[in-house]
Amino acid sequence: MGAVVVIDGVVVGEGRNRVEAQRSPLAHAEMEALQQALATIGEKRLPRAVLYSSLEPCFLCAGAILHVRVQRVVFSARDPKFGAVRSLANVLEDPRLNHRCEVHEGPGADLSAEMLRAFFRGKRGN
């Protein structure tokens, strides 16, 4: 799983899932990409940013996306177990919040979903 943050056509942050490598449930690709983007531009907000992710962001990542004020999120595959953008909730577009993101779903969804299934089949040894 991977994520990149783009501002004005320039990649300013990239991340990959490192939950197992870092033994941390917080080491998601989106979190890493957001942290790197914030460090790159030296700000605490990313109001012109687009975050691209191979998997639908979870509740943790959706919260971080809102807090840093990302403008748009584009994700490939839905996450039926943890997805907080379309699958289980619609956190990023909730009108009760003071910030909302544009959300675009689906580019590369089939390829991304198959790659994720293959990855987890390998982890389970199936």
20 is catalytic: no
* Strand ordering across the sheet containing 102-105: 10-16, 2-7, 49-55, 72-77, 102-105
User: Which of 30, 56, 105, 114 is an active site residue?
Assistant: 30
For 100, left (φ over 0), alpha (ψ -120 to 50), or beta? beta
Beta-ladder partners of 124: none
- Give catalytic residues, as residue numbers: 30
